[in-house]
């Protein structure tokens, strides 16, 4: 059971062993010392450090009695009895992997109270798609003496905690290493301090000798460089370029996978928020676009199962995304004269979404899905034999982009605002293919991607609005629909129908711009 889920916001500093903490009373509004702690922290990962590659850390921490004089040194047998706590730290949507703990960092923390030695089921469920068949095992153990202070305005809850850690690596690649770090963590439950107050505290620490950019404790103990591994720029050969594109697609999906599994505030893992669903839908759409565009150079035995699995995922995520779009549009048009009825209408729409979310969770737990992830994680298997992997990539990429753009142009001219969903899908394929090709094909591919994205955005908005209108019409026959709720639904539908007229004009204008884009000259 998740006992805590919160956004961690902290600033980290390296300090020398002789560092003396400055007086922060005036700039912080008040400082209150807490009892010193002895902490023993064990970091877990797979043998190939799959969690670290995505900016994720998993740790078990024991909090013992206050540490005696003599520092952090001490064996596990001499530690006092301590309650154990597991913490899984995940990058936020704005903190894209690969990431680092250095400097200012925002990460989500999921915490479980449990004994050490066995990772809680709730934690393994979140990272199941990343670890798969690899075993989680201890990578490093740290012992720390921690001094703590709360920063607190008068008669207000504390707004930050400062932790001063003297750390020794007791197990790991750099066993015996000692270092000292400061962490200033803004407390989610505290009062919201004005930015000048926060900056004043940080500046006072800098003047006292604290150096911004304290590295990850795990990275230091494990002998890493403080940053998760990054992808190298694509080489000019076909094999290296396609491998780079597919590896980026895989990383993008793995970043979505663990976010889809994160439980909500009520502990229910079946309710991924709309922004995460959108991230996952885009990741699948990119995969499908690239598999279609570069199909001539890919091994059919690898591609066909991937396409089938991704089509299934796209169907579920598409339903979820469409249902979110309906909810967003209803929430954005509240009816002041029918607040209760509006709430009932949203409850009906949310119930439909929950069923689709349960379908997604069932898919993520299936053996077929985990097998797809294994294929996805080996993009080197995708290239067909005899394709000339050492040949320059430019010719194939130009041919792939030309084919994608021509198919999109035909679809848009035939469908356009008449069938905006299908036209948007074609425009997105052009955008994603052009973005993948731009490192090799240059600025003209970038410009085509921008035009295609604009067309796809307005076509998608039009399609979502029309889908919301259809959904609200269908709800009119729902058994639990009362006259008051039906009236509110009708008013919202009328507003959406009026908006769809203007959306249709803009969608046609952007779609025509893509269809007329002068790409053929340089794509030949």
Could you report the per-residue pLDDT of 376-407, keeping only the tens digit for each?
A: 988 888 888 767 667 788 888 999 998 888 88
Question: What is the pLDDT at residue 524?
Answer: 61
pLDDT for residue 236 is more than 90: no
Instruction: Tell me the mean pLDDT in the region 89-105.
Output: 58
pLDDT for residue 71 is more than 70: no
* Beta pairing class for 57-64 and 83-91: antiparallel
Taking the C-alpha atoms of residue 341 and residue 338, their distance in angstroms, rounded to an integer, is 5
Q: Label residue 172 left, alpha or beta by phi (over 0 means left) and psi (-120 to 50 means alpha).
A: left
Could you report the per-residue pLDDT of 1-45, keeping only the tens digit for each?
A: 555 777 778 899 999 999 998 999 988 888 999 999 999 999 999
Could you report the per-residue pLDDT of 41-61, keeping only the tens digit for each?
A: 999 999 999 999 999 999 999
Question: What is the pLDDT at residue 409?
Answer: 83
Percent of the chain residues topping a pLDDT of 90: 46
Q: For the chain, give the mean pLDDT.
A: 84
Q: Does domain 238-523 have CATH number 1.40.20.10?
A: yes
Could you report the per-residue pLDDT of 255-289, keeping only the tens digit for each?
A: 999 999 998 755 566 678 889 999 999 999 999 99
Higher pLDDT, residue 35 or 80: 35
Question: What is the pLDDT at residue 194?
Answer: 66
Task: Report how far apart the first and last C-alpha atoms of the chain are (Å, whole number).
Answer: 58
Taking the C-alpha atoms of residue 264 and residue 202, their distance in angstroms, rounded to an integer, is 33
Every domain of the chain with CATH number 2.40.320.10 lies at 4-222
Helix (H, G, I), strand (E, B) or coil at 22: coil
- The angle that helices 300-331 and 367-376 make with each other, rounded to 10 degrees, is 110
Question: What is the pLDDT at residue 100?
Answer: 38
Q: Does the pTM of the predicted model rise above 0.75?
A: yes
CA atoms lying within 13 Å on the CB side of residue 284: 24
pLDDT for residue 67 is more than 60: no
> Chain centroid to CA 330: how far?
26
Q: Using an 8 Å Cβ cutoff, are 244 and 42 in contact? A: no
pLDDT for residue 80 is more than 60: no
Range scoring the smallest mean pLDDT among 96-100, 120-124, 237-241, 456-460: 96-100
* Beta pairing class for 178-186 and 158-171: antiparallel
DSSP string covering 147-210? EEEEEE-TTS-EEEEEEEEEEEEEESTTTT-EEEEEEEEE-TTS----HHHHHHHHHHHHHTT-
Q: How many CB atoms lie within 10 A of CB 260?
A: 23
Number of H helices, E strands in the chain: 16, 9
Element (H, E) at 248: helix 238-261
pLDDT for residue 209 is more than 60: yes
Instruction: Tell me the mean pLDDT in the region 62-67.
Output: 63
What pairs with residue 7 in β-bridges? 108
Every domain of the chain with CATH number 1.40.20.10 lies at 238-523
pLDDT for residue 81 is more than 50: no
Higher pLDDT, residue 162 or 414: 162
Q: Using an 8 Å Cβ cutoff, are 13 and 205 in contact? A: yes
**DSSP, res 72:** S
77 pLDDT tier (thresholds 50, 70, 90): very low
Could you report the per-residue pLDDT of 430-466, keeping only the tens digit for each?
A: 999 999 999 988 899 999 999 999 999 999 999 999 9
Q: Which fold has domain 4-222?
A: Hypothetical Protein Pfu-838710-001 (2.40.320)
Instruction: Tell me the mean pLDDT in the region 486-501.
Output: 88
**CB burial class (10 A; 0-12, 13-18, 19+) of residue 377?**
middle
Question: What is the pLDDT at residue 228?
Answer: 53
**CB burial class (10 A; 0-12, 13-18, 19+) of residue 98?**
middle
Question: What is the pLDDT at residue 314?
Answer: 94
Q: Using an 8 Å Cβ cutoff, are 91 and 54 in contact? A: yes
């Amino acid at each position: 059971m998740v006992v805590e889920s919160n956004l961690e916001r902290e600033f980290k500093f390296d300090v020398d062993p002789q560092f003396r903490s400055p007086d922060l009373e005036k700039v912080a509004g008040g400082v209150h010392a807490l009892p010193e702690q002895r902490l023993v922290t064990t970091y877990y990962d797979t043998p190939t450090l799959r969690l670290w590659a995505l900016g994720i850390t998993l740790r078990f921490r024991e909090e013992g009695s206050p540490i005696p004089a003599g520092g952090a040194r001490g064996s596990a047998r001499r530690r006092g009895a301590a309650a154990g706590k597991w913490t899984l730290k995940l990058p936020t949507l704005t903190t894209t992997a690969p990431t680092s703990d250095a400097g200012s960092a925002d990460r989500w923390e999921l915490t479980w109270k449990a004994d050490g030695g066995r990772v809680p089921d709730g934690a393994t469920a979140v990272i199941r798609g990343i670890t798969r068949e690899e075993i989680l095992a201890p990578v490093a153990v740290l012992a720390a003496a921690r001094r703590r202070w709360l920063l607190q305005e008068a008669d207000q809850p504390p707004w930050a905690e400062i932790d001063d850690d003297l750390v020794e690596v007791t197990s790991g690649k750099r066993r015996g290493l000692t270092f000292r770090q400061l962490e200033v963590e803004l407390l989610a439950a505290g009062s919201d301090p004005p930015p000048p107050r926060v900056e004043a505290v940080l500046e006072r620490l800098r003047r006292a000798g604290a150096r911004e950019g304290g590295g990850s404790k795990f990275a230091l103990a494990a002998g890493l460089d403080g940053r998760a591994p990054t992808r190298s720029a694509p080489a000019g050969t076909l094999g290296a370029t396609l491998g780079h594109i597919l590896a980026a697609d895989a990383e993008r999906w793995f970043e979505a996978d663990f976010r889809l599994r994160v439980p909500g505030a009520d502990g229910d893992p079946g309710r991924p928020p709309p922004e995460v669903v959108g991230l996952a839908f885009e990741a699948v759409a990119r995969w499908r676009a690239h598999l279609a565009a570069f199909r001539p150079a890919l091994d059919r035995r690898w591609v066909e199962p991937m396409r089938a699995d991704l089509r299934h995922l796209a169907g579920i995520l598409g339903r979820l995304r469409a249902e979110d779009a309906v909810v967003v549009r209803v929430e954005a048009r509240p009816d002041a004269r029918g607040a209760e009825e509006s709430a009932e209408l949203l409850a009906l729409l949310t119930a439909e979404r929950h069923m689709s979310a349960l379908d997604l969770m069932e898919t993520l737990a299936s053996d077929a899905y985990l097998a797809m992830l294994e294929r996805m994680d080996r993009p080197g298997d995708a290239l067909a034999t005899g394709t000339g992997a050492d040949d320059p990539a430019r010719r194939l990429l130009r041919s792939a982009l030309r084919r994608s753009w021509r198919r999109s142009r035909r679809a848009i001219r035939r469908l356009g605002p008449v069938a905006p969903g299908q036209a948007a899908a074609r425009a997105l394929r052009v955008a994603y293919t052009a973005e993948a090709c731009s490192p090799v094909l240059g600025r003209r591919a970038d410009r085509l991607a921008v035009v295609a994205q604009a067309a796809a955005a307005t076509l998608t908005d039009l399609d979502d609005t029309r889908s919301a209108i259809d959904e609200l019409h269908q709800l009119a026959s729902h058994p639990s629909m009362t006259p008051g709720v039906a009236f509110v639904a009708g008013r919202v539908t009328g507003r959406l129908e009026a908006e769809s007229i203007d959306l249709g004009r803009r969608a046609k204008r952007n779609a025509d711009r893509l269809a007329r884009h002068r790409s053929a000259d340089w794509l030949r």
